[in-house]
Structures are given as C-alpha cells and as structure tokens.
Amino acid sequence: MKPTVVGMAVGAVLAFTALLFDFWGFLLMALFIAVGAFFGRAAEGKVDFRSVRDALTGRRSSS
C-alpha cells in the first residue's frame, strides 16, 4: 500500500476513538484523516516541509 493510504488508515483508526464524543468526534475524525494523509504524502516525498513552512510564514507565495 502507498504511504498516503496507510497514513489515512492510521488517521481513521485514531479518529475512531474520537467517535465516542458525538459531533466533535466526527470533526476530529476529519482532522485526523487529513493530518494522516498529509504525513503519508510527506513520506512519499510529495510534500516539502520547508516550502510549507515558508508559505505559512509568508516568506514565499504559492504562485
């Protein structure tokens, strides 16, 4: 399996425990899956953390 799929699966498993907390658990599940997918793509080498950090701090734009 690709690291992105594994990351999403790990995020889903972690978020499953959050489902015990009703609506907020659902929101946490979506957050955990997104974070898992992000780190999975980083493991594949498709995300450069330096460029993400630079974009978040305003040093570099996406264009």
Kindly list the distances between the CA atom of residue 57 and the CA atoms of 10, 12, 45, 48, 60, in Å, as whole numbers in the listed order: 28, 29, 22, 15, 8
Q: Would you state the pLDDT for residue 23?
A: 74
Nearest-angstrom CA–CA distance, 32 and 29: 5
Q: Check whether 63 has a pLDDT greater than 60.
A: no
Q: Would you state the pLDDT for residue 61?
A: 60
Q: Check whether 9 has a pLDDT greater than 80.
A: yes
Nearest-angstrom CA–CA distance, 11 and 13: 5
- pLDDT, one tens digit per residue, over 10-38 is 888 777 767 777 777 777 777 887 888 88
Nearest-angstrom CA–CA distance, 19 and 60: 38
| The residue count for the chain | 63
The reported pTM is: 0.56
Instruction: Return mean pLDDT, the chain.
Output: 80
